[in-house]
Every structure is written in structure tokens, then in C-alpha cells.
Chain A
Amino acid sequence: MTLLSVRNLSLSIGRHPILSDVSFDIGEGQIFGLVGESGSGKSMTALALMGLAPASARVRGTAQFGGIDLLAQTERQMTRLRGRDIGMIFQEPMTALNPMKTIGDQVAETLLVHRAVSRAATRTDAQAVAAEKLARVGLPTDRFPLSLYPHELSGGQRQRVAIAMAIALRPRLLIADEPTTALDVTTQAQILDLLRGLAADEGLALLLITHDLAVVADMARQLAVMQGGRIVETGATEPLFRAPRQDYTRRLLRAAEHRPARRPPARSTDSSAPLLSVEGAVRDYILPRPSAFAPHPLLRAVDRVSFSIRPGESLGLVGESGCGKSTLTRAILGLDPLQGGAIRLGQAPVTAGRTMPAALRARMQVVFQDPYGSFNPRHRVSRLVAEPFHLTGRPPDADRRIAAALEEVGLSAADRHKYIHEFSGGQRQRIAIARALIIRPDLIVLDEAVSALDVRVRAQVLDLLARLQESHGLAYLFISHDLSVVRAVTDRVLVMQSGRIVEEGATEDVFADPRHDYTRRLIAAAPKIPETWKEDADADAD
């Protein structure tokens, strides 16, 4: 039975077409995946269906949902539908809840607004239903009382509350816009399990919007691939993965699994002196006093961590948020002091702040995750890229080297006169790499450097990194929560949990035969496209 039937949905803002002739069907209780890169129109499609498109947008087409056309409803009619017949959850669990209200009140609010509990019923009745819904999403009242505030919950738990709110009135359709993108892999697996369970048990249809092909492969029976506001391909998931008909889909699939060509790790250098060695590093944070005269408690964010990186090696560091990777990174970069242990670069100790000699700092550079926050918007690219010259002194041929660095990362020398807002996310990450390269460091720390990029751009940047490693003999410390990327580009990998390294080894060995329980859980939780689906696609591509 078709629940939602979208036909020729088009949307334009001013003269710019955003969506063109989007058509798809979702059956009752079906999980439907909508995938595409950023800017492809996935989220706008969902907003248009909910009647939440920007006021200046012109929407055409039809969307039949249980006998009514969603696109022809007035705002007043839509408010009755939203929450009651169609629920929605968003990407960012940190901002989706009102921080000033308890979780019980927030779930109960949906019920009260729609008068789902009879008019005479009290708040208590609504609270009772809220408790039941929260228990259904895995937050039973005995462990998670209704009186909790959002800040007392983790990201995954908040996303559960958001789901409880969305399903409180047993809607027939749930729209989930990147519901797990902001979550860790193990939490992601739990939330996806929950959504799958809801679809199966309550006959809830799910429109799952995501950029992650592996998530769709794992979840959806049907899917549609969007590009530039159009659906380029639609069909049942497995056949579509096995034999994509459209070139775009094929490129997307190939990019998701892309492994840059890398020379095998140089085993012969095993005996050579390490480039970076971390010995028993300890990093404590001072927490606020629990009471006026109590001593400050300490939080040990990094607990006796030891490892080393050889020249020219790629070392991966994986772990979930809060495991201490970022804290460790700051200490390695000489931004924060250690409370115990030592970090050495070459033979010289890495110390925090001003005490670290510039020549030592110049051997190490960093590329950050966020392509938008990584640059001062007021400076031109030539000045941004030249910033590390502060460490070495500006060489006489600085201009030529800036141009060369930009060309090395695949941009043109003329780009140095532009401002950073003129570049896309992928180009910005290239500029960040140019900035790191310009003083020819020995080690580049890549802190989630490709996590914010679309799959195809990510594949290109990974290729670039592999090429640069070969030509410059760079060592990389590759920090990421994305296991597939780490597997594709590193020689050795460290797994970090609660401030400790729990497993270390050659990347392929760790992934093929994880010994620590936590590593096993991480690998099991990461969604993947089944191996058997890929063979056909590869054969097709050749």
C-alpha cells in the first residue's frame, strides 16, 4: 500500500530552481532512503513535504498522503498533520531539544498540543504516555526519570528523546534527516536499530535522508539518489547497488569505497629512529569543585598513552567522541602541557606554548576538520597559506612557494588573491593542506580532515594526501572516527577508549582480526555495504 506518493515536486526560490520533478513512492511501514551529496536537495524535499520550505519558495507538484495532497494544504491544516501523522527528527541532537524543559514535558507537549489525551485529561496522563514512549525508545523511567533535562543526557540519548517526541502520536510517516550523522558509530548502530524496530513493530514508514551510502545499504529497502535537485536513479536497494544504471550513482558508490593507491608501508624503516614518540603521556583536566571547600576533582583525559610514528609512516588514531583523541592531539601539537610522560619530535621534547622552539614547531603541521572555521575570513589566501612562515621566517621566494603549494594541492596560483569564502569545502581543505605543506614539515596531523567532505570530494582529497606523502616523505597522524577511511589510508592504527590506547597494530591485522573487545564492537557497529553487492558493481564498471 502506498502511503506517500510524490509526483513532480518542483521548488524554486527566486529564479533559482532547487528541486525539479522529484517523484517517488513510500509504502506503508517501508524504509525509504534518500541519498545524495550536500546541496543535492534531500533536506529541501523533506521540508517541502512538511510545509516547512522557506516562505519565498514556490512549490509545485503533488504529494498524496492518505488521500490528501500535502502540498495543497494551508499552514493551519499542516500544523494539525505535523506531529500527528508525520513526525520528523533532525541531525543535531544538541539543539533539537529545549534546554529549559524536562524530557518528560517535551514529549508530553506533543500530546497536549494535539489533544491526543482527552481535553479533560490532566498533565499527568500526558506524562504517563510520555513515560511509555520514552521506554519504547530505550529510556526507561527507572533509569531516566521524566524530570531529567537535556544537558544531563548524551547525544545518543537526546536523539532518542527526539525520536520519542516524533513517534508520540504514532504517526504513519517519520522523516529522519541525517539522524545519526552527529553520533558515534556505536551510538549510530543503536539508533538505526531503534528506527528499524519502530518501522517493523509499529508499521511506521521511514523516509531516511542521509549522505552515507553504507547506512542506506543497511537500512532501506527502496532508495532514490539525488543530484542537483533531481532524482537521478531510484529502485530497490540491493539491485541498485549491484548494478547502478546511472553514471552518477556508479561514481558515488566507487567514491564511497575509494582507497587511494599507496605504496606498501616501508618495512625496512622499522629499525629507524621514530619521528614522533609519545611516552606515558598523561593529561588531566581540573573540574569545578563539587562544593565550596572540596578539592578540585581531576578528569584524566589521556591516561599513560605511548606510541611512536616513524618517518614517512601513516598512523591512524580511532576512537569515539570523548575518548581523548582531541586532547592528545593538542598535546602533540604543543598547545597544552602534559601532566606526566613526554612527547619527543626527533630527539627534542615537545613543550607547550612559547617554550617550544620555532624550528621544532616547524617540523609539524595540522589540518582540521571544519573547512569553514579553519581560515580567517578577513585574509586573502596568500596570507592564509603563508601563516606558518612565522616559524621559519619569510623566505625571499615566499610568493613563488605560495603559488607552488597551491598548485601542488590542485588549485591554481591565481587563487592566492581570493578570499576564503570564494571556495567550496573541498577546495578549502586543499588550501588547509597547502598551508600545512608550505614549510615542508615532517609530520602532518590530520584531525578528522576529511570527515566533513562529500564522498567524491573525500576520495579526491585522500588521493591528494597519498600522492603528497609519497613525493614529500611525509608522516601522517590520521585522527578519525570513520573506520573505513582509516582503513584505506593508514599503515598502522591505534584504538583509543576513555583516554587509553586499547589496541595497536598494523591496520589490516587490526581490522581483519581485532583482539580487544572495544575494537570488535567498533568494527561491528560501522555500517558497511555488503561485500557481495560490490562485486557486481565493480564488474559493471570495468
Chain B
Amino acid sequence: MKASLYLGLALALAALLAAAASLIWTPHDVTALSIADKLKPPSAGHWLGTDHFGRDIASMLMAGARTSIAVALVAVGIGMGFGVPLGLLAAARHGSIVDEAVMRGNDLIFAFPSLVIAILITAVFGPSAVNAILAIGIFNIPVFARVARGGALSLWTLDFIRAAEVAGKGPARISAEHILPNIASLLIVQGTIQFSLGILAEAGLSYVGLGAQPPTPSWGRMLAEAQTMVTLAPHVAIFPGLAIVLTVFGLNLLGDGLRDRQDPRLRART
């Protein structure tokens, strides 16, 4: 169990490092076309080969990691930034009209498939990485609102909340001081899971052409462009696919590992 946590951490860190490194250095310029070198298999000059324009796949994957991680990170940020306060508010006003309004609003968002809304947003505002972030971010809001509300509700029944009320503290202050620190671990775990889903969603939106636009590299679009040549040059599709799979797998392992670590019953056994 410990091992899977470290494996997840290593995979997630590898993606993060690749993205960070691409800011200052990539083996080749990601926008440099070289039709003469197109669809080359992996070699010493091009570690993971080249695509149909002769661009270096290793460089594009590194830069693509940047897009994926930025989109997923901001989307999780939007989800947490709006969802957690809403969830805390709903829990603090449990049973009131505010609680109902927040939770039914959540249900409304849950009722639509995220891809449909993403298509809607991009149809109105045009496809771009920013709109992809917005679409994914909106769908993170109800997830975090539910997790925060569920965790907060069980805490609100405890006596230390009563003691804080007797000390004259209002619901906002109690939520920030007493509830939030005690549901932080829940939120962190949910955050890693939503992060991996965000990477997957960005790849999906880019794959159908609704995410980052060329020439910004994106794992999803690399996959989309490679699919017609998959029999001719399988490596062009395999490497971006592997990048997505390994990163998502790593983040899920990390999320599971963190959840096990915060559960004292599971922790005691290791």
C-alpha cells in the first residue's frame, strides 16, 4: 500500500518536472517543422521519434504536460474556490432554504454531461484552452461542494462546535476555524482525483478539437492527429497515450494512498 503511494507520487512528480523543465528547455523547438524528418521512429536525435510534420515528440510531450497540468490545476482551483465555500455554507445553514438552493443547484450541474456543456461554451465563445478550463472547472464545483458539505455536516454535530458557538463565534468563523482544517484531508484527496480527471477531460476536449488550439501542444490533440497514422507510425500515438495513462494512473494512486494514510484504521495496520 505504501509502495503504491510512492509510485503515484513518482509518476505525478515526473509529469510536473517535465512540465516545469519545458519552460526553460526542450530537446527541440516544439514549433520547428521539418517535413524531411517526418514520422521518424525513436532515435538518438529524437528520443521518442517525430510526428507527421517532423516535430520532436519528446519536446511536444513536455510542453503538452504544461498545458494539461495548467488546465487541470486551474480547473481544480475553480472547483475548490467555489465548491468548498458553497458546501460549508450549505452545512452551516443545514436544512434551510440556502442549503436547498445550493444542493439543488449542484444537482442541476450534475444533470448535464460535462462534454455537452463544454461544446456549448466553445460554440459560444470559440474553442480555446481558457474555455476548456472553465468548462472543466464548473463541473468540479458540485463535487467539492458535496464533499465539503458531507464532511462539515458530521463535524457540526460535535461538541467542540457547540463550545465555539457558546464562545460567541458565528457560522462563518466556525467554518473557517474549526470545520475547514478538519475536512482539509478529505479535500486534498478529492483534489488529486479531480486533478487526474481534469487531465483526462482536457485531453478529451483537445481530442475533439475544443481544447488548446495549435500551435499550443496538447496530449489530446497529439493523439487525435496521430490516429490516422497509427498503422504507419504507431509510436506517434503510443507516446502521448502513455503520457496520459501514466499521469492519470499516478494521480489516482496518489489520491488512494493519501486517503488510506488519513484513515487511522488503515494507517495502524502498516
Q: Which residues of A are at the interface with B, using a C-beta cutoff of 8 A?
A: 333-335, 354, 356, 358, 361-362, 364-366, 368-370, 373-379, 384, 387-388, 390-391, 432, 435
Contact = CB atoms under 8 A, between A and B. Distances in A.
Contacts, number: 56
Nearest to B182: A378
Interface of B: 158-160, 162-170, 177-178, 181-182
8 contacts: A333-B166, A334-B166, A364-B166, A368-B162, A376-B160, A376-B178, A388-B167, A391-B168
B182 A365 contact: no
A373 B160 CA distance: 6
The SS class assigned to the B binding surface is helix
A368 B167 contact: no
A285 B167 CA distance: 25
Most buried by B among A334, A373, A391, A435: A373
Given A354-B170, A378-B181, A378-B182, A387 B162 contact: no
Contact of A390 (B159, B160, B169): B169
Given A335-B162, A374-B158, A432-B163, 14 more contacts: A335-B166, A354-B170, A356-B168, A361-B166, A362-B168, A366-B163, A366-B166, A373-B159, A373-B160, A374-B159, A374-B163, A376-B182, A390-B169, A391-B167
A375 B182 CA distance: 11
Given A376-B178, A377-B182, A378-B181, A387 B163 contact: yes
A362 B163 CA distance: 12
B63 to A, nearest CB: 40
A358 B168 contact: yes
A432 B167 CA distance: 13
B159 A369 contact: yes
Contacts of B182: 376-378
Contacts of B163: 366, 368, 374-375, 387, 432, 435
Nearest to B169: A390
A334 B158 CA distance: 17
Contacts of B177: 376
A379 B181 CA distance: 9
Nearest to B174: A376
Nearest to A432: B163
A356 B165 CA distance: 11
Nearest to B157: A373
A390 B178 CA distance: 14
B212 to A, nearest CB: 40
A365 B181 contact: no
A378 B164 CA distance: 14
Nearest to A56: B269
Nearest to A333: B166
A424 B127 CA distance: 60
Given A354-B170, A376-B182, A378-B181, A387 B159 contact: no
A453 to B, nearest CB: 15
A334 B182 CA distance: 26
Contacts of B165: 333, 335
B98 to A, nearest CB: 15
A441 to B, nearest CB: 10
B166 A390 contact: no
Contacts of B181: 376, 378-379
A133 B158 CA distance: 39
B167 A390 contact: yes
A373 B162 CA distance: 10
Contacts of B162: 335, 366, 368
Contacts of A384: 160
